[in-house]
Amino acid sequence: MSELPKAYEPQDVEKKWYASWNDAGCFRADENSSKEGYSIVIPPPNVTGILHLGHVLNNSIQDILARRARQKGKEVLWLPGTDHAGIATQTKVERQLRENEHMTRRDLGREKFLERVWDWKEEHGGIIIKQLKRLGCSCDWDRERFTMDAEYSEWVAKVFTDLFNQGLIYRGKRMVNWCPVSLTALSDEEVIMKPQNSKLYFMRYELVDAPGEYLEISTTRPETLMGDTAVAVNPKDERYGKYVGRKVRRPFPPAEIEIIADDHVDVEFGTGALKITPAHDKNDFEIGQRHGLEIIDIMHPDGTINCPEVPELDNLDRFVARRKAAAKLEEMGLLIKVEEYENSVGYSERADVVIEPRISMQWFLKYPAVPEATEAVANGDISFRPERWRKTYANWMENIQDWCISRQLWWGHQIPVWYRKEKATELQEAESLDMNDLQHGDIYVGTVPPTDEDNWVRDEDVMDTWFSSWLWPFATMNEQERSKFYPTADLVTGPDIIFFWVARMIMAGYQFTEELPFKNVYFTAIIRDAQGRKMSKSLGNSPDPIDLMDKYGADGLRFGLMRIAPVGSDICFEEDSVAEGRNFANKLYNACRFRQMNSDARLEIPASWEGIELPATHLDILAKLDGLFVSLEKSYANYRFNEVCQQLYEFFWTEYCDKFLEAVKGDFRSEDPAVKELTLKVMDTVMSRYLQCLHPFMPHITEELSLRLGFLADDEFVMQKELPTEPVLAGVDAADIAEAQRVAAAVYQAAARLRNLKAEYKLANSRDVKFVLKPAGEWVTSQIDTLAVLAGAKEVSIDVDYAPERGTPAAVTDIGEAYMPLDGLIDVDAEKKRLSDEIAKVEKDLQKCQGMLNNKNFVDRAPEAVVAVERERLAELQAKVAQFNEMLAAL
């Protein structure tokens, strides 16, 4: 046993232990082990990423699961890695090029640009990995994967080729989210909806067959009217029934377009008549498909207008063109009015610009294994926690649409498709490509280039980043690793990517491995600030986890955050919760120092407590320790990590420190060394097991204290030590345990009442107080010394015939009637004055409160919650007055 320093310094301890675990290979999974396999694959953070509180929550949960599984005797693989983050990474490197060298990627060319990206990745791409290590994550870092690794890239190419050969991948023109800055298609997940103060433009289109008669139209985007190919109304809208089938004149460039009826039109929006621009709105596109409308694209990829027929708008930025188009309508006498309008607008997550719905030639995937993936969650083969997300998942699977898997980037997995050089231009401009083109020999699809590569031109697009990450659970492992660790046990992720990642991984698992990829999915909560706002850099309400760890320690951050993270509810984060985690670590440390201060001897903990006579408080704390093991097991089984955290907190702070440690302080003043030794052995029994239980949440400090207190053998780690399977009190008579717990509970309850009596008379800190007890039975005699220590009393004497003076403060407890004679303890006259002053003060507040509640206007008009608070306050004030009057009468 080595002496603990006076103060706990988490930074030094955490750095030391993480290095020790890593150097000893504690994180390394053995695929040849005979132990039961347990595995988690880390949701790969973007290689551009830095740690935020969402990462802390997610990875703390994974680490807790991994460390707990090791304690249960399993061979654990927690496989880490990062995602190449196509758009985010390319954007960073392109920005550097512009700012430092005034160049674009096209100035460099594809090959040299990709060399720059790899250089950037090697220099800056490991930041978040280092930060996860700082948090204490016990990942198998020797198996760290990257979605652009050669082996992983082979998987991606193979999957694309197989799916294409099965007729599930094709190329065609479809409506996509388009970023006019990054010049690429985006997934829905890469589009952030933001509330906007927009404008709603009301204009009129002249009826072709009734010159001078107009149909009123409403739109938020007048700059796209050059692409209008119809006006739509709802068939149920009686206002417009007579117009359906007729035509109106599009103002510019002039054209006659038909009025159509479609159920999609919202009768309540604007005028109820909408201009339909199939090339520039997803809903308009679908309406256009239903009605066979012409598709006119009037916008360049960079968001500028492409309409030479209207030269005053041609090549203008779309938002400039919006104002110009409105002004042109006004000049033509066709603009009726403009109203302020609040709506949600999609922004590119990386470029932070408004996205454009755009018709674009892209590669698409018809999802495979949909029935298997749907059924797996429906029948419980894959469990969702919280379970309510099953409904969200099922709804998406029922309405699944083809996946746009191509991106117009250079950084990423390049589409493994080659076009015959002499037909390349024709094929690249073709409306669609599928298996027929492969069979005709016009295209080549494969995991390696064609042998006569010089005669072919490769497709320039890369695959959506999600197309590589949907393979993550199995493509990260070799065959031997999969045989041991696949399917994985748990996936911890956010519900915001339930479609983009979770559902796709399930489909990929069934398609390519013929089994599910994981058994349990735990969806983490959203972390919000004290005002309920989602944390973000733009709001400045998201603290840096590294700063928090510098201030409170990684263990303090983990414990503080996990304690406020209930299943299925968002987290309201305040820094005080992390401070409480740090305070808990200090409390733990000081309790262990208290043990060392009373003896630095390393004692042999009994293998069994059967046949050893123990005081009630000792037997009680050991029974509660056994109870803790049972309750923790139940909470872990239900993935209720905050419950586990709270149980660990309550046991240690309340049951062990506030009760047991206080109760046994007298043992260390005993003249009998056996008394002291027995108490030390009980303390060691509790702490050795408790530190194991706490380890998944606070790994560093538990490792430090276990070593310092002599609970570990040489070269042994808490993180590798299996939890005991037998209860501490195995073999001890259950009736004896029950009786001890009854006695201990009575003593603790009585001590609390005696402390309250002292506090009522401002004697809380006085050690001169004597109590007289009329006991509830003979058994009480053996508990008197313990009761005196817990009550902070000079003495507790037993007197079955005690006749108290009138007004002596008393308390009825489970161990008998307790009295506190006040002789010599207080200045009676001064106490009378104090109580009289207190009564006057409370009665004044009481009168004010009663006045408010007697005021009918207040009761009728104030919010119900406010009135309820006042009524509760009235009851509290009345109780205080009664208590003070009793105390005054007693004097």
Question: Is 584 a residue whose pLDDT tops 90?
Answer: yes
Confidence of residue 373 (pLDDT cuts 50, 70, 90): very high
Give residue 829's pLDDT band: very low, low, confident or very high (50, 70, 90): low
Q: With 70 as the cut, is the pLDDT of residue 849 above it?
A: yes
Model pLDDT for residues 191-244, shown as the tens digit of each residue: 889 999 999 999 999 999 999 999 999 999 999 999 999 999 999 999 999 999
Q: Same CATH topology for 192-351 and 828-890?
A: no
Q: Are strands 795-798 and 810-813 parallel, antiparallel or unpaired?
A: unpaired
Express each pLDDT in 12-38 by its tens digit. 999 999 999 999 999 999 999 999 999
- Output the known binding site for ATP: 537
Q: What is the band of 825 on the pLDDT scale with cuts at 50, 70, 90?
A: low
User: 599, 680 in Cβ contact below 8 A?
Assistant: yes
CB atoms within 10 A of CB 362: 23
Query: Tokens at residue 28, please?
Result: 């390394």
**Residue 856 class from Cβ within 10 Å (0-12 exposed, 13-18 middle, 19+ buried)?**
exposed
10 Å Cβ neighbour count for 659?
22
Q: Select from 90, 145, 191 the least CA-distant residue to 404.
A: 191
Q: Are 60 and 495 in contact (CB under 8 A)?
A: no
Write out the H or E segment, with its range, that includes residue 200. strand 191-206
> In whole angstroms, what is the distance from residue 197 CA to residue 588 CA?
53
pLDDT of residue 861: 81
User: Do the bridges between strand 255-261 and strand 356-365 make them parallel or antiparallel, or are there none, so unpaired?
Assistant: unpaired
Q: pTM of the full predicted structure?
A: 0.86
What is the pLDDT confidence band of residue 569, given thresholds at 50, 70 and 90?
Answer: confident
Average pLDDT (395-420) is 94
- Closest to 615 measured CA to CA, from 674, 688, 671, 687: 674
pLDDT value for 295: 93
Question: Which candidate, 390, 352, 397, places its Cα nearest to that of 370?
Answer: 397
Domain boundaries, the chain: 192-351, 737-819, 828-890
Would you say 846 and 878 are in contact if contact means Cβ atoms under 8 Å apart?
Answer: yes
Q: Is 258 exposed, middle or buried (0-12, 13-18, 19+ CB in 10 A)?
A: middle
Contact between residue 688 and residue 706 where contact means Cβ atoms under 8 Å apart: yes
Residue 498 above 80 pLDDT? yes
What Å distances lie between residue 492 and 132, 145, 338, 466, 633, CA to CA?
Answer: 15, 18, 48, 17, 19
List pLDDT tens digits, range 90-118. 999 999 999 999 999 999 999 999 999 99
Mean of the per-residue pLDDT values for the chain?
Answer: 93
- pLDDT of residue 853 exceeding 90, the answer is no
What are the two backbone dihedrals, phi and then psi, of residue 140, each rounded to the nearest 5 degrees?
Answer: -80, 85
Quick one: pLDDT at residue 537? 65
Pick out the residues of the known binding site. Answer: 537
Q: How far is CA 700 from the centre of its chain?
A: 23
Output the pLDDT for position 827: 58
Check whether domain 192-351 has CATH 3.90.740.10, yes or no:
yes
Phi-psi region of 198 (alpha: psi -120 to 50; beta: other; left: phi over 0): beta
CATH code at 828-890:
1.10.287
pLDDT greater than 90 at residue 262: yes
